Structure 1
Amino acid sequence: MTSRTQVVVIGGGQAGLAAGYHLRRLGLDFVILDAQTEPGGAWQHAWDSLRLFSPAAYSSLPGWFMPPQVGEEYPDAAHVVQYLRDYEKRYELPVERPVRVIGVHRDGVFLRVETDSGAWQGRAVISATGTWWRPFLPAVPGRAAFEGRQLHTVEYTRPQDFAGRRVIVVGGGNSGAQIAADLAYDTELTWVTQRPPRFLADDIDGRALFDAATARRRALDEGRTDTGGVASLGDIVAVPPVREARDAGLLKASPMFARLERDGVAWADGTRTPADTVIWCTGFRPALSHLAPLGLRGRRGHIATAGTRSSEEPRLHLLGYGDWTGPASATLIGVGRPARDTARDIAGLLA
């Protein structure tokens, strides 16, 4: 069975919902296909103690401010999930779930979206699948030899699971710092980073990060000197749990080890640290396998875009994957503007 609509949005997380909000405002016919069984996108799979980098009002999707969480300046993941659930209902967004998209194909004037429950034809497609579903693991020597447990950020839930264990946390970004802070009290923790960790000033949160990302994109678009964006400020937002562990002297980073061994890790100078568990907080890659039939990816797997629109397939937009598809577009507050521009571009295409 094949259904037809003007726009097919792939992904029902924050980017897909922001796209739906703007498509609805423009009066377009669309459907949102979400592989998850419940609303909330990747947030429903985050670790228990995860906190936003900004207060609720500065972590909102277009049209409706996120309500504050009682007793918390920085909302937790469960609060974000409830907000996304309520947002979806508030704007009566047409989400079909669970629907797993298998591939997107050219089909005359349409793009055909094949799923595990039938096909959809759309005059335009917005891919908003994010990155959570494609965790990245670096090619470190000896990884296969390590006999302990290895997991990625996506598999970490709570510190109680590792109490009393010897844990190596790898990664100098926000995930690495937050999980290291989580584990600093009840485990034998070693925090490993590629370079010395760069904490942002304690008074800087997501509001300043969004402004910095936007200013960088504006400067690049206007041919001015690159401001450096968020990277110029630092790598780690000092949310309260991170700040507390850091100030207590519990977040001391070691340089990256050279290899894993059967029962631990080893550095180039011969130093060894035994370990039961290695947690790789090493980031993600865009989840784009469903777009493979279109043949758009370059040698490095990157799809060229102008804004969010594919440079080679103007009926396709990519939303929410990071700065290459809009400044801070992988964040709640940052995805609204590129979602608006995407909807307007599609409305012009359909007209």
Structure 2
Amino acid sequence: MSEANHDEATASTRVVIIGAGQAGLAVAYFLRRAGLQPGRDFLVLDPGPRSGGAWQHRWESLRLGDTHKVHDLPGMHEMGLTFDDAPRDRPARDVVAAYYSRYERHFDLQVVRPATVSWVERTEDGYTLTLYPGGPFDQVATQVIVNATGTWTNPRIPAIAGRSEFTGTQVATPQWISAQQFAGRQVAVVGGGTSALGFLDDLANVGASTLWYTRRDPVFVDDEPWLSETRGARAVSLQDAAARSGSILPSIVSVTGLARSPLVERLDARGQLQRRPMFRRLVTDGIIEQDGTFTYVDAVVWATGFRAELRHLDGLNLAGPSGAITVQRGQVVDEPTIYMAGYGPQASTVSSNRAGRTTAKLILAQLAERAAANSTPAAN
């Protein structure tokens, strides 16, 4: 299976990368640099309508440099391109999409989109990936899988009683379009990360009244708007320990805290950082607080983080007793021909770049070993 074969319904290749966000593109870059041919030796499948990974779906008001830092993809310097001087006055989703699109074209990565994987099954020679209708293929056969699907399509919403009883508006982070739909309303923002802070800021600008709820007291640190090397290293270390042990991954903000950025200072000056403990339940028109009192709200924004999007791998039964997958150096321990790019310690944009090189080396070694085994004459 050294070359990709295509017909109306199927394709076959040596490596499939699922997802063209930063982690997936980083692996694709290093595979190409090592001599594998995009579209032949490996395929990059992406569900999005355009380049940009999850960034293309983020809300219009989000800008680069406020609370989010995007590290350059490997090889971007060859193009004379860097996020360090990317526009700060345009929506981040448009800037990242434009840069990623240039990157894909420059390195001829031949990303296939829209191509959404719905299910993966083992075969004698590797795996068969089934795709949702509407893409260029029904199925793809491959020897190695690099799963780089991220988390954006799998928001984590806490199991709060009364969610189905509440008659107001509820949105999770991926459903947020703009604050304008909440103008003049009383909104509960739930979550202790930077997305929640951004929503509080946007809501204040349209005259909404906001209440901020978190499970634990937020910790603010005097730091640059994004992760310092020290805080970032600690977060990566704890995520790596969880991935290696097959444990549920901790949230990044629970490890790093919140940087006292201009956004935080702005919210603090307005009095919007008066955090409330997580409420007991929702009722039809509001919230029952921890002390049993009622608070009226007509909307809830769930900025409560994400889980890795792995549902298409459920048929492989990779998860252990805890419900998590054991991963070391990006490889699934019990199934080393599956790689989890951007998972756990690789979730930050800088660590996913570094991991892309390692993943590519491991894949190349596997392919070489398989090729050698297939070329060995059978014993008489």
Q: Same fold (TM over 0.5)?
A: yes
Residues 77 and 252 from structure 1, CA distance in 2 versus in 1: closer, same or farther, beyond 3 angstroms? farther
Pairwise CA distance, 1:251: 2.3
Residues 180 and 57 from structure 1, CA distance in 2 versus in 1: closer, same or farther, beyond 3 angstroms? closer
What is the DSSP-based 3-state SS (H/G/I as helix, E as strand, rest coil) of the residue aligned with 1:279?
A: strand
Counterpart position of 1:69: 86
- For 1:40 and 1:51, how far apart are their aligned partners in 2? 14
Counterpart position of 1:134: 154
* Mapping for residues 108-257 of structure 1, pairs under 5 Å: 108-116=124-132, 117-185=137-205, 186-203=207-224, 205-208=226-229, 209-213=231-235, 234-257=256-279
Say if 2:324 is the partner of 1:302: yes
- For 1:247 and 1:206, how far apart are their aligned partners in 2? 23
Residues 168 and 120 from structure 1, CA distance in 2 versus in 1: closer, same or farther, beyond 3 angstroms? same
Q: 1:45 aligns with which of 57, 66, 82?
A: 57
Counterpart position of 2:355: 338
Pairwise CA distance, 1:184: 2.7
Contact 1:46 1:154 in 2 (8 A): yes
Question: Matched residue pairs, number?
Answer: 339
Counterpart position of 1:314: 336
Larger Rg, first or second structure (1 or 2): 2
Higher mean C-alpha deviation, range 269-278 or range 116-125: 116-125
Pairwise CA distance, 1:229: 11
Residue identity opposite 1:6 in structure 2: R
TM-score normalised by length of structure 2: 0.81
Give a deviation string over 1:68-97, Cα, whole Å, max 9, x none: 23456x983322222222221121112111
Residues 60 and 26 from structure 1, CA distance in 2 versus in 1: closer, same or farther, beyond 3 angstroms? same
Residues 298 and 84 from structure 1, CA distance in 2 versus in 1: closer, same or farther, beyond 3 angstroms? same
Root-mean-square deviation (CA, aligned residues, Å) is 2.7
Percent identity for Structure 1 against Structure 2: 38
Pairwise CA distance, 1:140: 0.7
Q: 2:117 aligns with which of 101, 107, 132?
A: 101
Contact 1:181 1:242 in 2 (8 A): no
Pairwise CA distance, 1:233: 6.5
- For 1:173 and 1:50, how far apart are their aligned partners in 2? 14
Counterpart position of 1:80: 96
- For 2:142 and 2:88, how far apart are their aligned partners in 1? 44
Counterpart position of 2:72: 60
Residues 233 and 107 from structure 1, CA distance in 2 versus in 1: closer, same or farther, beyond 3 angstroms? closer
Contact 2:278 2:290 in 1 (8 A): no
- For 1:27 and 1:153, how far apart are their aligned partners in 2? 39
Residues 251 and 33 from structure 1, CA distance in 2 versus in 1: closer, same or farther, beyond 3 angstroms? same
Tell me, which stretches of 5 or more residues in structure 1 are unaligned?
222-227, 324-328
Residues 258 and 56 from structure 1, CA distance in 2 versus in 1: closer, same or farther, beyond 3 angstroms? closer
Counterpart position of 1:261: 283
What is the DSSP-based 3-state SS (H/G/I as helix, E as strand, rest coil) of the residue aligned with 1:95?
A: coil
- For 1:57 and 1:46, how far apart are their aligned partners in 2? 14
